[in-house]
Amino acid sequence: MQKIIEKIKTLKKQKNAIILAHCYQPVEVDFVADYVGDSLSLSQVASKTNADIIVFAGVYFMAQTAKLLSPNKKVLLPQIDAGCRMADMLSFRQLKEFKAQNSDIPLVCYVNSTAEVKSECDICCTSSNALEIVKSLNTDRVAFVPDTYLGKWVEKQLGNVEVITYPGFCPTHLQIRPVDIENARKKYPNALVLVHPECHMSVSDIADYVGSTTGIMNFVRKSDENSFIIATEQGVVDRLKRDYPEKEIIPIKENIVCPNMKMTSLIDILNVLENENNEIDVDKEIAKKAVKCLDAMLGVSK
Ligand code: 13P
Ligand code: SF4
């Protein structure tokens, strides 16, 4: 493994490339990554980098978002088949139908969506800024795609905005059920339960904290408590265990894994850096409109 890591580092320098990695990636990807973070922080970095090549260790919509924000850079996805099962639930045709049914209100899309979907939406959001984005619209009704649970969580938090949601969801986070939280609380009565807002509402409702990947990691970092039950993808658990060996990090249950996020290996990263294949490209007309939706978000979340 050390040889592969060295080769990747050398190629990165030679080619002025950076590697962005989502926190759900296999933990060894961090050995070569320049930035590891959640969807929001990675898109912010992608929009500002001076690198010539961005290798995106993540899933397709993330690399596509990086390409939209940095159109003159070469964006490479180590595993071209790594998609997002939630994004795949909303086709362009389905989006158009949903939009037609809600044509009188702003349309917000979660970043976990295709460039085509983004091109027809007013503003984008991620799990860490969804509240801020919907609030910024100053309206009492919005339409929200594709994650129904994130949308309904936002509605509940804000209290004065009706959020009309498309019925998409994350199959990984939906594996977590209220009974898992109840059982974990019985076993670890002193632990705090930290939940990602892609989880079912019945799970978010009984959490001690609900937040994005980075939100959860920051919560553990800042907290004086010692014990945490983590209700999100395994990558967050692995990084928390690595970074806070003195704290007790308890996964809510085994196998809360996003299979697509785990497709990337260090060899795949080395291959795309060497061959510059798996390049992401977006149709120019679609990109022109989709980037407005992303820029609207980045204008609010700087
Ligand atoms: P965040 O990175 O915004 O926490 O989102 C999680 C996710 O599911 C990414 O696909
Ligand atoms: Fe998509 Fe869920 Fe995987 Fe995130 S964890 S990439 S939402 S399938």
- Kindly state whether residue 256 falls inside one of the protein's structural domains: no
- Asked if residue 106 and residue 64 are part of one domain, the reply reads no
Q: How far is the CA of 183 from the centre of ligand 1 (A)?
A: 25
- Asked if residue 96 and residue 70 are part of one domain, the reply reads no
290 pLDDT band (50/70/90 cuts)?
very high
- Kindly state whether residue 241 falls inside one of the protein's structural domains: yes
- Asked if residue 161 and residue 210 are part of one domain, the reply reads no
Contacts of residue 77, defined as CB under 8 A and 6 or more positions apart, other chains included, come to 56, 58, 60, 63, 272, 278, 280
- Asked if residue 240 and residue 197 are part of one domain, the reply reads yes
pLDDT at 41: 86
Average of per-residue pLDDT across 2-21: 97
Q: Which ligand is nearest to the CA of 168?
A: 2
39 pLDDT band (50/70/90 cuts)?
confident
List pLDDT tens digits, range 69-86.
999 999 999 999 999 999
- Asked if residue 209 and residue 151 are part of one domain, the reply reads no
Report whether pLDDT(302) > 80.
no
116 is written with which tokens?
A: 């085509």
pLDDT at 236: 97
- Kindly state whether residue 183 falls inside one of the protein's structural domains: yes
Q: Whose CA is nearest to atom 10 of ligand 1?
A: 112
- Kindly state whether residue 271 falls inside one of the protein's structural domains: yes
- Asked if residue 149 and residue 127 are part of one domain, the reply reads yes
Q: Which ligand is nearest to the CA of 83?
A: 2
The verdict on the CB of residue 240 being under 6 Å from ligand 2 is no
- Kindly state whether residue 117 falls inside one of the protein's structural domains: yes
Please say whether the beta carbons of 117 and 90 come within 8 A: yes
Report whether pLDDT(40) > 90.
no
Average of per-residue pLDDT across 276-282: 97
Average of per-residue pLDDT across 230-254: 97
Q: Whose CA is nearest to atom 7 of ligand 2?
A: 170
Average model confidence (pLDDT) across the chain = 96
User: CA neighbours within 13 Å on the CB side: how many for 68?
Assistant: 30
The verdict on the CB of residue 212 being under 6 Å from ligand 1 is yes
- Kindly state whether residue 299 falls inside one of the protein's structural domains: no
pLDDT at 148: 98
Report whether pLDDT(100) > 80.
yes
The verdict on the CB of residue 128 being under 6 Å from ligand 1 is yes
Q: How far is the CA of 175 from the centre of ligand 2 (A)?
A: 12
- Kindly state whether residue 185 falls inside one of the protein's structural domains: yes
Q: What are phi and psi of 191, to 5 degrees?
A: -85, 145
280 is written with which tokens?
A: 């992401």
- Asked if residue 136 and residue 191 are part of one domain, the reply reads no
Query: What amino acid is encoded at 135 in this protein?
Result: K
4 pLDDT band (50/70/90 cuts)?
very high
Report whether pLDDT(119) > 90.
yes
Tally of domains within the chain: 3
Average of per-residue pLDDT across 52-57: 97
The verdict on the CB of residue 127 being under 6 Å from ligand 1 is yes
- CATH code of the domain in which 184 resides: 3.40.50.10800
Residue 21, domain extent:
2-84+261-282
pLDDT at 1: 86
Q: How far is the CA of 39 from the centre of ligand 1 (A)?
A: 5
Report whether pLDDT(301) > 90.
no
**How far is C-alpha 63 from the chain's CA centre?**
11
List pLDDT tens digits, range 131-166.
999 999 999 999 999 999 999 999 999 999 999 999
Average of per-residue pLDDT across 216-228: 97
- Kindly state whether residue 178 falls inside one of the protein's structural domains: yes
